[in-house]
Amino acid sequence: MNLWFRLLYMLCRRPWRKPAHGLATTVVRMRVWPLDLDLNRHVTNGRYFTLADVARMDFVLRTGAFRVALRNKALPIVGDTWGKFRRELKVFEVFEVHTRILGWDHKWSLMEHRFVSKGRVVGVVVMRGLFRSAKGTLPPADFLRELGLAETSPPLPQWLSDWAQSCEAMSVQLRGEEQD
């Protein structure tokens, strides 16, 4: 199934979906379609990241984050993603994507998308993103305050802090290479 149709389907269902708290986990139910498959006849690795985009849009809409972004004339930007694949998803298999915000720092918000089928986590996509306006990056604390959440992030697991730091280190390295 083309991802535009998935997005349209998710948007059409939106009026019947309950709003969610900013630290809640949202769940989107999907099915594996033939166009999601690679030559091994299971969901291709890259497709997980795209399906996570659809689930993230549901999260942003249901938590009201899109209204805050509109008020600030800001757009969501994905900076980094990481994936862990544990089990394959096969054609026509039903699965869910559980999306939640894990925490944030002075610039980035960190989100998790768990792909769940038959009660098991089959894959995880972690995303580091931000909202950017013409005035610059919206600090997550300001953004979350507008959502009625605390400005301080929940404690981040060590693996997540390490990953975020490695993303920063790579950015610094790439900027340095551009100046050479």
Residue 142 sits in a domain of what CATH number? 3.10.129.10
The number of distinct structural domains making up the chain is 1
Helix, strand, or coil (residue 101):
strand
Where is 99: in which H helix or E strand? strand 94-104
CA–CA dist 156, 80 (Å, integer): 17
Provide the residue-wise pLDDT of the chain in tens; the chain has 180 residues: 467 777 676 666 766 678 888 889 999 999 999 888 888 888 988 999 999 999 998 999 889 888 888 898 999 999 999 999 999 999 999 999 999 999 999 899 999 999 999 999 999 999 999 999 999 998 888 888 888 888 889 999 999 999 999 999 999 999 999 987
Amino acid 15: pLDDT: 64
* Rounded distance between C-alpha atoms, residue 57 and residue 61, angstroms: 6
Identify the domain containing residue 26 by its residue range. Answer: 3-179
Confidence at residue 150, expressed as pLDDT on a 0 to 100 scale: 83
Q: Between the CA of residue 31 and those of 93, 101, 171, what are the distances in Å?
A: 6, 24, 36
Q: How many CB atoms lie within 10 A of CB 48?
A: 22
Residue with tokens 């938590």: 63
Half-sphere exposure of 89 (CA within 13 A, CB side): 33
